[in-house]
Structure 1
Amino acid sequence: MRFSVYQESHIGGRKVNQDRMGYSFTRDVILLLLADGMGGHIMGEMAATIAMQTIGNLFQQQAHPMIGRPERFLEDSFFAAHQEIHRYRELHNLPETPRTTVVACLIQNGHAYWAHCGDSRLYWMRQGQILLRTKDHSRLETLIAQGKVDPSERHTHPDRNKLFNCLGAPNAPIVELSRRATLQAGDLLFLCSDGLWSVLPDHMLAQRLNDHTIVRAVPELIRSAVDIAGKQSDNVTALAMMWEGDDRLEDPSIISTNTLPIGSITTTIQAPAPGEQDNVEADAFNEAEIEKAIAEIRNAIHKSSRITTKP
């Protein structure tokens, strides 16, 4: 596999950056991951961190060298992260459970698979055109789909920050899975938090990422979003990967996994810091416990969802 990748985050006008992002890869599979802790509830940054660590650890356990069932992995790892966030609340006797949105993407054998809960987005772009993007799990998007609200109101409607799906809520998360996407050389996968897409229109994202390398475009987009939002800016985070396939053209900015030792994993997803080991303990990933938790969550997944608000 050959690809280029770049990630960056800015705290914006907030006191705490509750966004988290990262990627991991082996010789044969890539994981892209972004989480946005929900500031309308306590310790959103912890929920985002737990989601990153849980999904990242499960990836490292199962990517040998590829993920056997990508869609199942994404669904199961989201449920496991949801369970871990609830376990954190119980361990620390918190008055409520921290919450986070999350979007993740797996790339292997020239195909991409992604999943999301909430309003952190993934865009699939080709030659400056958006082929697909995730649909926000928000009250506003539901109203737009029902024809009750015009799409032009996305940035001004009073319900634009009301979500009905996330990790950490009392009800089970609804993991929305993509169809398998066949990548071509030059295709771009772009993950971002609402601090970016709520300020910059989709056509601007596509144009900037098409006109410049991701190493230049991502910082420019983040800087533009922060400047436009000003003191009211949310945390702004983005992670972009350009797929180069298996082409052998030399370019120092392109990562080639062909030279990685078999069984090795490269990652930017941070492990638990000292003193935080109880957040994601090793025994939390016992397969029997995960399967039991997933079964319980699946039994509840069709229950009505509670709407929750992000600031």
Structure 2
Amino acid sequence: MQFSVYQQSHIGGRKVNQDRMGYSFTRDALLLVLADGMGGHLRGEMAATILMQTMSALFQKQAAPYVKKPERFLEEAFLEAHHEIHRYRAETNLPDTPRTTAVACLIQHNTAIWAHCGDSRLLWMRRGQVLGRTRDHSHIEHLISRGLADPSERATHPDRNKLYNCIGASSLPKVEVGRQASLQPGDVILLCSDGLWGPLEEGEITHRLATQTIVRAIPELVEMAVSIGGLACDNTTALAIMWQGSEADAASPLSAEPSVISTELLPDNLVSTTIQATPEPAAATEVDAFNDDEIEKAIAEIRGAIERSTQILK
């Protein structure tokens, strides 16, 4: 595989950044994950962290060097993260369960498949045209699908932030798995939180990603969203790749750029990841910030549960 990748997150006007992002890859598979901890619930950043850790750990066990059942992997990984969040709540005696939205994309054999819960979004673009996207699990999207609201109201409707699906709620999440997408060199896949897509028109996002490299476009888009949001700006996070395919597809001039990652020579048992083993520290002003012992205990629980669930995913 060959691809270029860029990710960036900005705290915006909030005290704590509850967004998490990262990617893991082997010789033949690439996993992209973005989670947006829900600020209306206690410790949303911990829910997002648990989601990231669970998916990364399962990928490292299942991608040997690729995932044999990608749709099932994504669905089961989201559900396992949901259960891990509930285990964390029970272990820490929290009055409520932390919650997060999430979107993930698994790419292997020049094919992408994605899944999401909530309003963290994915866009699949080719030469500035959107070929695929997730649909938010929100009240406004429900109204649009029934013809009770116009698509132009997505950014202004008073119910645009009301979600009916997330990870960590009292009921099981409804994991929506998208169709398989056949990628071509030059295709762009963007994962982002509502802090990015909320202030920006989709046309602006696609235009910048079509006319610039992702290394230039992503920082500009994040900066624009934060500037528009002002003092009330939400956490703003984006993770994007430009696909180059295999070395046999290296007709694109971008494949010669130093920013392009090539996995062709990796051993089939090696996994590289940017997903942190422990979460970023919370701000000192956060009253309910978790301590190091809680973090280590939660991650140990995640690892133990993943060991128990590995056979289920095979």
TM-score, structure 1 as length reference: 0.91
Structure 2 CA distance, aligned partners of 1:86 and 1:103? Answer: 19
Give the equivalent residue in structure 2 for 1:131.
Answer: 131
Shift of 1:156: 1.5
Higher mean alpha-carbon deviation, 267-276 vs 110-119, is at 267-276
Instruction: Report the 3-state secondary structure (helix = DSSP H, G, I; strand = E; otherwise coil) of the residue aligned with 1:277.
Output: helix
1:284 maps onto 2:305 in alignment:
yes
Deviates most, 32-41 or 245-254: 245-254
Superposition pairs of residues 110-259 of structure 1, within 5 angstroms: 110-246=110-246, 247-248=249-250, 249-259=255-265
SS in structure 2 at match of 1:259: coil
Inter-partner Cα distance in structure 2 for 1:68 and 1:209: 31
Amino acid at match of 1:206: T
**2:288 corresponds to:** none
Q: CA deviation at 1:167?
A: 0.3
Which whole-Å CA distance do the structure 2 matches of 1:143 and 1:121 have between them? 18
User: Structure 2 CA distance, aligned partners of 1:210 and 1:219?
Assistant: 14
Q: Aligned to 1:152, what secondary structure does the other structure show?
A: helix
* 1:33-65 superposed Cα distances (whole Å, 9 cap, x missing partner): 000000011000000000000111000111111
Q: Is the 8 A contact 2:125 2:189 kept in 1?
A: yes
Query: Where in structure 2 are the equivalents of 1:69-148 lying within 5 Å?
Result: 69-148=69-148
Deviations 1:92-114 (A, max 9, x none): 00000000000000000000010
Q: Identify if the C-alpha distance between structure 1 residues 73 and 187 changes in structure 2 by more than 3 Å, giving closer, same or farther.
A: same
1:268 maps to which of 274, 281, 305: 274
Which TM-score applies when normalising by structure 2? Answer: 0.90
Q: Secondary structure at the match of 2:79?
A: helix
Would the aligned equivalents of 1:124 and 1:188 in 2 still touch at CA under 8 Å?
yes
> 1: distance between equivalents of 2:26 and 2:88?
29
Q: 1:280 Cα deviation (Å)?
A: 2.5
The answer on whether the counterparts of 1:80 and 1:290 sit within 8 Å (CA) in structure 2 is no
Tell me how far 1:289 sits from its aligned partner: 8.7
Secondary structure at 1:258 match in 2: coil
Aligned residues of 1:82 and 1:168 also touching (Cα < 8 A) = yes
> Which amino acid is the alignment partner of residue 119 of structure 1?
D
CA distance in 2, matches of 1:194, 1:212: 22
- Partners of 1:237 and 1:7 in 2: how far apart? 8
Aligned CA RMSD, in angstroms, stands at 1.4
Aligned: 1:39 with 2:39: yes
The aligned amino acid for 1:4 is S
Instruction: Tell me what 1:67 maps to.
Output: 67
For residues 15-47 of structure 1, what are the alpha-carbon distances to aligned partners after superposition, in whole Å with 9 as ceiling and x for unaligned?
A: 100000000000000000000000011000000
| Alignment partners' CA distance in 1, 2:310 and 2:259 | 41
Contact conserved, 2:61 with 2:310, CA < 8 A, in 1? no
User: Any stretches of 5+ residues in structure 2 without a counterpart?
Assistant: 280-291
Deviation at 1:259, TM superposition (A): 2.2
Residues 272 and 279, structure 1, Cα contact 8 Å, conserved in 2: no
Asked if 1 retains the 8 angstrom alpha-carbon contact of 2:37 and 2:46, the reply is: yes
Instruction: Check conservation: 2:103, 2:116, Cα contact below 8 A.
Output: yes
Pair 288,184 (structure 1): closer, same or farther in 2 beyond 3 Å: closer
Letter in 1 for 2:235: N
Q: Any idea what SS the aligned residue of 2:59 has?
A: helix
Distance 1:65 1:211 in 2: 33
Amino acid of the residue matched to residue 268 of structure 1? Answer: T
Q: CA deviation at 1:277?
A: 2.1
For 2:256 and 2:144, the matched residues in 1 are separated by 46
Q: SS at the partner of 1:31?
A: strand
DSSP 3-state at the match of 2:257: coil
Instruction: Give the AA of the match of 1:261.
Output: P
Contact 2:58 2:310 in 1 (8 A): no
AA aligned to 2:261 is I
